[in-house]
Amino acid sequence: MLSQAAVCAFRASLKSWRHRTVLKAAFRARWSSSSASGAVTGMEEILARVVSPLPTYETREKSPPPPDANSLEFMHFYRSLDKEEKPDFLAKLSRDFGVDHKSVSELAGKLLDSQLRDLATILQVEDRLRYSLTPRYKQLLNHISRAEGGVKFLVDLRADVLEIISSRSSESPHLRSIVREFSTLDLEEDVNKVNAAIFYSISSTQAGLQGVELGNYLIKKVVRELQSEFPHIAQFSSLSPIPGFSSWLQGLLSQYRKEGRGLDLLTEQEWREVEEATDLSPSTSATDALRKLIATSEWMRSEHLSRFLEPVLMRLCAWYLFGEKRRGYALNPVANFHLQNGATMWRLNWHADTSPKGVANSCGIMVNYRYFLNETPKNSALYLQNKIVVASDQVLGLVSQFQKNSKL
């Protein structure tokens, strides 16, 4: 129960808050009427159409979900917006389709009036007040989370909101409420749709465990725990870095140049592209120019260079992982680890790690090692006993391209 003094103080602040809210609403209405543009009108129309009213407290459990078309229309419209338009759209969504502040104010007053009544009445008013704090747009976000690609859309939307807040490209105080609502979305149905798990990193934090091979044990343990919690998961894969690829490639280019075989690594058309991209001087060989180009990250900023280098670097990287060996086993330590555990060398991913470290280590390429649980014992035995690498068609195709272009 609240004390009489607290009730009085709350009533005074509530009255003041109501007054300020009315003034702000009047100002906003006046501003909107004088500066509304076609784009703003379009935003208002789309939001009015797709953001359904919040069901009443009495019908909250019985109301049907909004039509699927609402979610799809909202997603399509938002994706069509330019980056500069998104702050205004999200501010309008959070401000005009958020919490009904008038209803909250009224219920807060009723809660104060109910303090001298029985506990059941107080609890019911509290529950109504709690429900009234639900933003109107939350029902739409919940429904989007169940649509195809909806969770990914919401993750990207949240990232946009966080960027807008950090860059101060919108002064709307309502935007932070959207971020908070993401933590309360009902994603239970989407959890049941999860069918894949990706292992990003396995590392030891204990000095006494350095050099002790625990990776295989940890992977199997995590797989068992994930399957018990998410029985629908049937695909397990790593997303792994490729340390050493860039330094190996620099050494390979240097070796081929010294042996007079530099032109064997790329096609004639690809070498012409290198010459044009680097303004090759008469005193510089094409191989040295390519080495210098790859040694910097400048090529990552050029869409043309990136597109030209993709097939070249992808097939060279595939060969590095698949074909370069030490005592018959994969030269790359990460590849060797996963292959020992019975994984399949599954897919190379272009521009997967564009951080400075990722570009320096592996030209931004990462690789998936996929674990087919019924095949891992057989794959592990093939690798450890016969030194055979099990790989996907994508990897084998890239290796074949390398062998063809490198005349191996």
Residues labelled as active-site residues: 240, 338
146 vs 142: CA distance, rounded Å: 7
| Neighbour-count burial of 372, counting CB atoms closer than 10 A to its CB (0-12 exposed, 13-18 middle, 19+ buried) | middle
Q: Are 158 and 141 in contact (CB under 8 A)?
A: no
Sequential DSSP letters for 204-245: ---GGGTT---HHHHHHHHHHHHHHH-TT--EEEE-B--TTH
Starting from the edge strand earliest in sequence, which strands make up the sheet with 344-349, in order?
196-199, 235-238, 366-371, 344-349
Dihedral through CA 211, CA 216, CA 218, CA 219, nearest 10? Answer: 140
Q: Tell me the β-bridge partners of 329.
A: 326
Q: Could you identify the residue written with the tokens 């391209």?
A: 401
Report the alpha-carbon angle 221-216-219, nearest 5: 35
Query: How far is CA 287 from each of CA 61, 177, 290, 311, rounded to the nearest angstrom?
Result: 69, 55, 5, 17
Q: Are 82 and 42 in contact (CB under 8 A)?
A: no
